[in-house]
Chain A
Amino acid sequence: MGNFDRTLSSEDVVRRRATLLQRLHIDGWLLLILLALAAGGLFVLYSASGKNWDILLKQASSFGLGLLAMFIVAQIEPRFMARWVPLAYLAGTSMLLYVELFGYTAMGATRWIHIPGVIRFQPSEFMKLIMPATIAWYLARGSLPPRLKHICISLLLIGIPFVLVLKQPDLGTAMLILASGAFVLFMGGLRWRWISAAVAAAVPIAVAMWYFVLHDYQKRRIHTFLDPESDPLGSGWNIIQSKAAIGSGGVFGKGWLQGTQSHLDFLPESHTDFIIAVLGEEFGLVGICLLLMVYLVLIGRGLFITAQAQTLFGKLLAGSITMTFFVYVFVNIGMVSGLLPVVGVPLPFISYGGTSLVTLMTGFGVLMSVHTHRKWIAQA
């Protein structure tokens, strides 16, 4: 029963050092890193938006709102969350269904529920958090690693919202929802043979689809999607320009506000999805490495919280949120630097956009909650 002793003693330590932050259920490390990221993000955004104070103030107030959301969520006990997760999943999925049937269309996509004069929001954004929580709740009921039946039900649970969001169409968000659910399975010890089987099956299915199912025009669309540079007047334009912007930054960059590509409007979307190109141009390889380092520390802290979490629900949820956060980073930078196809995923805490900021902060609020509501009897 050595473990019992260890848990008791660490709890003792925690109790002794119960600071103001802990009583507020705030994780100091996470807060510090997030504040640093947000401050750096505003810095870059000022340059990327062409010194636009309006955008800057909006982003800052979104960040404030995000902090508030994070603080509130951090107060909620994970066990309380787990109790309400199934209901949240049902509500979220029905809202997505509602969007599919009667949703509000803007810019060619139907993503919004719009109650005129009251509110307009994207239910898919909530799903980014509800999804991992649901799978975590489901897997935490049984024992690990999940068996085939549990995997199938989990995939069904992931599949419904995934398909609904994909149809909106919003590939970026659909992918993040899929990833957040899949990472719970991964964290839950999904057997390697299932993982390799899934990968192995994907290849022949894709090949068969290509030759037997897809029409020529669909193939062409996939082709431009995978190789945007074949379409230099359309989506390829962004990639050609963003690569030139990053590349011309060199090791140390051209200096803050000195980027020519972004400031001469060569670079579209420079303050939203493509903001890393501005950072790369103005702060160079050093700037990109520094940013990646901060991200790594943040993810490290998230994984540490995962390992330390006492309930299985908490572990799975925290692990998935952390890993999904990395998906944001990897997909965004990969896409802007021409490694991956263009998918609408923002660079967390740096890209302009209030909705994703609030969602991300809420996610970190969940991490804080998991970390600060530990009790030594929690596993009973």
Chain B
Amino acid sequence: MPQPIRLKDHERDARLVRRRVVVGAVLVVMLTLVLVARAYYLQVIQYDHHTTLAENNRIHVQPIPPTRGLIFDRNGVIIADNRPSFSLTVTRERAGDWQAVLDTLVQVLELTAEDRAIFEKRFRQGRRPFEPVPILFELTEEQIARIAVNQFRLPGVEVTAQLVRHYPLGEHFAQSVGYVGRINEQELKKLDPVDYSGTHHIGKTGAEKFYENVLHGEVGYEEVETNARGRVLRVLKRTEPQSGRDLTLNLDLKLQQAAEAALAGRRGAVVAIEPATGGILAMASQPSFDPNLFVTGISFKDYAALRDSIDRPLYNRVLRGLYPPGSTIKPMVAAAGLDAGVITERSRIFDPGYYQLPNYEHKYRNWNRNGEGWVDLQLAIMRSNDTYFYDLALKLGVRRLHDYLYGMGIGRRVSIDLGEEAEGLMPSPEWKRARYRQAWYPGETLILGIGQGYMQATPLQLAQATALVANKGRWVRPRLLRSAAGLTPEQLMADGEIPQVETPPDVVLKDMKYWDMVSNGMQQVLHNPRGTAFKVGSQALYRIAGKSGTAQVVAIKQGEKYDRSKIKERHRDHALFIAFAPVENPQIAVAVMVENGESGSGVAAPVVKQVMDAWLLDDSGQLKAQFRPASPAVESH
């Protein structure tokens, strides 16, 4: 059937549109009536209600800040709690001439012009109309009394109580737990304005910062009726805030104190990890500082004192301190060599006291310039023989060296929840080309074998690598958090509450015995009379596997000897020691760095042992029952 030809029928179209115009007009009138009805409802039927709200009294919504979650150590000792503190708030809309009010306030409290400038700055950070802005914290009794007496001259000024963070243990956990501080302008831009509408503090460092989401909780609010002077007359509706979740950390107060005591006033870092769980048992960076200073705003003078101190208390040596790992890297290099098949347990090299690359003049020295003769793997680790490891590094080559050590955590962030952790550096030819636009030299491979050169690691990375050896290659990322309201860090990660990090693949060696060979070498360091740290190991009630190291602070020229008398105290080498124990059933892995301590075995090793004793021995000085190996390998008293 042919389609009928459609002709434009203008009259019909016009009629159609005209009908729609009528429909449209009816629609418009009807919807307008809806608006009128709504206005009638609000303005006539609900008139009294709204008048009450708006005119005589004023309704407004006040945020109720949630209580921040507490932080405990593994035994339930409080590290961070909240204490009531009085602060002074000003509400701009009620203050009238607020400049004059600030002037009066400064006069009443006998403050200075500088304080007034700070007040004004804080005052300008007010966010919503009728929001009381806190301008002075931790009021003393006298200040509260003075304000009360002069209240009539201070419209819009109120003294309010709020909970403020407090760290009862002061300096002990300043580096790990961190502290909270006043929200600054940059942070304000990133925060959810609703969720933080009643909150004035935010985690600035450490666990306080990393677990901010978990600790903060959810804001509540109340609708209150106030009179024209801003006094709350009654609460109309209240939604309770939801407190933040408490954190239980892996840290142990007693061990932390023992670690700090072991450093005995020297500058340095101690970090102890439980190999099976990755839990950080203690983390000390000395000297430390009092985190309470930062909570309500540190004074400029106090801050300058901390910042300019030559001992650098604000410097987190555990996480930010980058040191060449020195000889402590040798056990890991040995594991790499065994796995790659370039050495065996029995293969030996001859050490004349130095190593030379073919066709090069340069002599790479062993620390013992007399040489040690024929050296095998055990002896090389035990005596920390540099020559053996120069040779091993050259056989491995920089490529494989990089891959193995990077796989063990050198040059990458290793923890789950230590946000400030430095990356460290595991160099490779590609890195050197990108960084310096230079080719890689064979000599640079050699010194990588003894942990010198470009390689840099934090004490945390060294502790992690030690735990990895203790675990025979199984990776467990170090973590501060044990649980947050029953959730492990992994569960928090799965819920998207903390950033996702993947666990690196386990280091699988071709033969598990290789780990034992490395561990044996490390045990000789402490338990063989020729071992570098025999002095420390001979007194231990359990077997320790460890390795010493020194990190150069200033370079020594070729052919020159390290002469301590010529070197300024602050230019002396840093002493390093890593260890885990008991070897049969590793419970603790420790890395110690003593700044300018010079001798890894002499200075850092005793610190390690003191920390281990504090963890492994009971009050009577015996190895705790649960840590005893199944076989009676340890002598009993």
Contact = CB atoms under 8 A, between A and B. Distances in A.
Nearest to A253: B43
Nearest to A289: B36
Interface string A221-246: 00000000001111011001001111
Interface string B25-44: 10011011011101110111
Contacts of A329: 35
Taking each of A245, A249, A338, which has the highest tally of chain B beta carbons within 10 Å of its own beta carbon? A249
B54 interface: yes
Nearest to B63: A233
Given A143-B13, A234-B193, A265-B129, A248 B21 contact: no
A334 B35 contact: yes
Interface stretch (A45-53, A183-191, A196-204): A183-191
21 contacts: A143-B7, A143-B8, A186-B20, A188-B17, A188-B20, A233-B197, A234-B194, A247-B47, A247-B49, A247-B54, A250-B44, A250-B47, A251-B44, A289-B36, A295-B32, A296-B32, A299-B28, A300-B25, A323-B24, A337-B35, A339-B35
A284 B43 contact: yes
Given A285-B40, A315-B17, A260 B55 contact: yes
A266 B61 contact: no
Given A250-B43, A303-B24, A143 B17 contact: no
B301 interface: no
B128 A237 contact: yes
B61 A233 contact: yes
A110 interface: no
A292 B31 CA distance: 11
Contact of A189 (B16, B47, B53): B16
A186 B39 contact: no
A356 interface: no
Taking each of A246, A247, A268, A338, which has the highest tally of chain B beta carbons within 10 Å of its own beta carbon? A247
B510 to A, nearest CB: 46
Interface residues of B, number: 53
A188 to B, nearest CB: 7
B341 to A, nearest CB: 52
A120 B300 CA distance: 44
Given A251-B43, A265-B93, A307-B17, 4 more contacts: A233-B221, A240-B59, A260-B54, A266-B54
A285 B47 CA distance: 11
B226 to A, nearest CB: 12
A312 B19 CA distance: 14
Contact of B39 (A288, A322, A323): A288
Contacts of A179: none
A126 to B, nearest CB: 25
B557 interface: no
A169 interface: no
Contacts of A281: 54
Interface in A251-275: 251, 260-261, 264-266, 268
Interface in A159-196: 186-189
A322 B39 CA distance: 23
Contacts of B11: 3
Interface in A274-324: 280-281, 284-285, 288-289, 292, 295-296, 299-300, 303, 306-307, 312, 315-316, 319, 322-323
A218 interface: no
Contacts of B194: 231, 233-234
Contacts of A330: 31-32, 35
Given A187-B24, A189-B17, A337 B42 contact: yes
B93 A232 contact: no
Contacts of A261: 54
A326 interface: yes
B18 interface: yes
A248 B9 contact: no
A312 B51 contact: no
A319 B17 contact: yes
Given A144-B17, A189-B17, A232 B24 contact: no
A197 B42 CA distance: 35
Looking at chain A's contact residues, is the secondary structure mostly helix, strand, loop, or mixed? helix
B223 A248 contact: no
Interface residues of A, number: 59
A145 interface: yes
Given A143-B9, A280-B39, A292-B36, A326 B223 contact: no
Nearest to A306: B21
B547 interface: no
A333 interface: yes
Contacts of B31: 326, 330
B172 interface: no
B16 A264 contact: no
B63 to A, nearest CB: 6
A243 B50 CA distance: 8
A187 B42 contact: no
A244 B221 contact: no
Nearest to A247: B50
Given A189-B20, A247-B49, A265-B93, A296 B35 contact: no
A379 interface: yes
Contacts of B19: 189
Contacts of B39: 246, 280, 285, 288-289, 337
Contacts of A268: 129
Closest 5 CB pairs of A and B: A247-B50, A248-B54, A189-B16, A265-B129, A247-B42
Contacts of A339: 34-35, 38
A341 to B, nearest CB: 15
Contacts of A300: 25
Given A186-B24, A337-B38, A233 B17 contact: no
Contacts of A187: 17, 20-21, 24
Contacts of B17: 144, 187-189, 306-307, 312, 315-316, 319
Interface string A329-351: 11001100111000000000000
Given A246-B42, A248-B47, A285-B39, A315 B14 contact: yes
Contacts of B24: 186-187, 303, 319, 322-323
Contact of B61 (A240, A245, A260, A306): A240
A339 B40 CA distance: 13
Contacts of B129: 264-266, 268
B46 interface: yes
A44 B507 CA distance: 74
B190 interface: no
A240 B42 CA distance: 12
Contacts of A249: 43
A247 B130 CA distance: 21
B354 to A, nearest CB: 63
Contacts of B49: 247
A307 B47 contact: no
Contacts of A312: 10, 13-14, 17
A334 B8 CA distance: 41
A30 B334 CA distance: 91
Nearest to B47: A250
B219 interface: yes
A285 B223 CA distance: 27
Contacts of B317: none
B124 to A, nearest CB: 15
Contacts of A265: 93, 129-130
B58 interface: yes
B12 interface: yes
A145 B38 CA distance: 36
A248 B53 contact: yes
Contacts of A188: 16-17, 20
Contacts of B38: 333-334, 337-339
Interface string B105-134: 000000000000000000000001110000
A119 B7 CA distance: 47
Interface in B85-100: 93
Taking each of B9, B12, B43, which has the highest tally of chain A beta carbons within 10 Å of its own beta carbon? B43
Taking each of B39, B46, B61, which has the highest tally of chain A beta carbons within 10 Å of its own beta carbon? B39
